[in-house]
Amino acid sequence: MKSKGYILVFLCCMTGLIGYGQVEFTAKLSKDKIGLNERLRVDFTMNQNGDNFTPPRFDNFTLYAGPRQSISQSWVNGKRSFSKTYTYYLEPQKRGQFTIGQATVEVNGEVYKTSPLAVEVTASVDEPKDGDEEDIQDYVNDIHLVTEISNPTPYLNQGVTVTYKLYVGQDANVSNWYSTDVPRFANFWSHDVKINPNKVYHGSYRGDDNYRYVYLKQVVLYPQKDGKLEIEPLTINYTTEIPTSRRDFFGRQIFRPIEKKMSSGSRTLTVSPLPEEGKPADFSGAVGTFSYALETSKEELEAEESLDVTVKVSGTGNLKLFQLPKLEAPQSFEVYDPEHSENVQVEGGGMKGSIADRYTLVPDAGGEFTLQTPSFSYFDPQTKTYRTLSAKTSKVRVTGGSRALVAQNDDTTASSLVPRKQIVSSPAHFEYIKLRTNLRSRGDAPFFGSTAFWALLLLPVLLLPMVIGVGNKRLEKLNDTAGKRVKRADKLARKYLSEAKKAMGDQQAYYEALESALHNYLKAKLDIPTVEMSKDRIAELLQDRAVSIETSNRFIGLLASCDFARYTPPSANSMQHDYDKAAQIITDVDRQLKV
């Protein structure tokens, strides 16, 4: 019996040693999905004391605090329990799907590793929570980052001003703020308004007048689809001061600076579609308040002399996002492609100014002619109705020309030909024709068989290869359709990219002009309204017209790069690179495009 008791004790001890010998080394996250303005806690825990602990690199995160080490051990009914934990607090640097890598530790000469952990970082949340982070008394209740929207229920293509403001109470202190996450305005045409972020204003926040505030960002948006659209928040880092338990020599409380992250919170726009009832047939997407005019550079000119005619729309609204009506000219006028110009300012209230198409016309016949344009329609969001405008017609008198046309009345273009006057010829008109010649003989030597005879006889044979070669070259040049298309495409690229080249050096203006050039090129080639210029629609149109998928993806990718590059640090080399890329893409699209 005594020996059996020893055996039982021995087995219990061995069981405990075996259990103690199983090493566990694990990693745990406080949350697997956090907002950009939240903090993440990572615990690395081992059940046996180890050496040479090595944490992962924490790519895409900033170490806010740690490592903090904690050890706990206990004996329960003769069984030992041990735990050692390394804790880190991390702040995400950007949005995306990331991985917390493996940590390593050495126990009894063996190396153990944790499993990688996946974490998703989303846009900033309205109410950030820092999980199990140590309690830090909040001294930033008087600091608020807000998103203000001029109109939460706009119509499609109606301008909305979004303003991000930082409000600071009288007793709070804020310094060194900078953006860590810039909003991405998907489904909007957007334009940043220039502001002074260092100018301090005094105002009211939720009824309290004792606040100061600054403008951090202001942008004008034009929604390109209806429904509920999200306005993403702006996230900033800033430095403030909190009191400590220490006091200086004079008994005043000592403060210490801390860095905080704050989000303005997301907002939602409810975008109404434009009403179908009463929509004019010629409506091209204009929303706002506009005037419409037709201007001519002269009222009287000679045939074969050029004339400039300008179709112009002025006012307030989405001026950059619709097409102007086409000029209607008589058949006797040669009309060249219009030169588009924009004099548009984008301010806090939206776009205002004018856009114009200037046509060059050359008449080839005399007479009186009427120049006119179709009506122009737009939607007025103030009255919630469609309006149709007609430009004044312009009369032009053309004199001279190989033929003259006389207007039958004021309402119709002249079409009757004036007969030419009969000209009576006199014999003197033909005096330049010599009826009597003074030919003289060159001598008695026969011409047949002479050197001159053989030279003239063989000359065509000798020249024949040269003539054939020149003819072949000319045929190759005439048949070089691809070469002509390349030259025409290069000319188009230079035409549409001219504004972008002028703005090179001004990052915001440059990428807006570059994006506008790509849109204007497609609108001109495919004759489509601006309301259809979504990236999905562009890809569909290009593929329908035999443009390769690779070229189409490069075109869409460059549009996306223009939108993203507005908020990245400027670089002259990158601007030139994007300009060259745009010129090449326009050339490639034009060569492949079947209109």
Mean per-residue pLDDT pooled into runs of 10, the chain (595 residues): 50 47 86 86 89 89 79 71 86 90 90 92 75 45 88 94 90 81 87 87 87 92 93 87 70 76 87 93 93 91 90 94 90 89 90 94 88 91 94 86 45 36 44 59 64 79 81 69 54 69 75 79 68 67 80 80 62 73 82 69
Q: Does residue 432 sit in helix, strand or coil?
A: coil
What are the DSSP calls for 391-407, one per residue? PPPEEEEEE-SSSBEE-
Domain coordinates of the chain in residue numbers? 21-122, 143-271, 288-417, 482-592
The residue type of 248 is: D
- Topology of 143-271 in CATH? Immunoglobulin-like (2.60.40)
Q: Which residues pair with 121 in a beta bridge?
A: 34, 96
Yes or no: is domain 21-122 CATH 1.10.645.10?
no
Token digits for 324?
Answer: 């102007």
Find the helix or strand (DSSP H, E) in which 583 lies: helix 572-592
Residue 19: predicted pLDDT: 45
Q: Yes or no: say if 590 and 489 are a contact pair by the CB < 8 Å rule.
A: yes
> Do 21-122 and 143-271 come out as alike in CATH topology?
yes
Token digits for 401?
Answer: 């020309």
Whether the link from the prior residue into 67 is cis, omega within 30° of 0, is yes
Residues whose CB is less than 8 angstroms from the CB of residue 275 and which lie 6 or more positions away in sequence, other chains included: 384
Count of other CB atoms within 10 angstroms of residue 115: 10
Token digits for 18?
Answer: 């075996």
Q: What is the largest CA-CA distance in the chain?
A: 162
Find the helix or strand (DSSP H, E) in which 549 lies: helix 549-565
Q: d(Cα 490, Cα 115) in Å, to the nearest integer?
A: 55
Residue 573: predicted pLDDT: 65
- Topology of 288-417 in CATH? Immunoglobulin-like (2.60.40)
Tell me how far CA of residue 348 lies from CA of 160, 198, 269, 382, 516, in angstroms.
Answer: 9, 18, 18, 18, 21
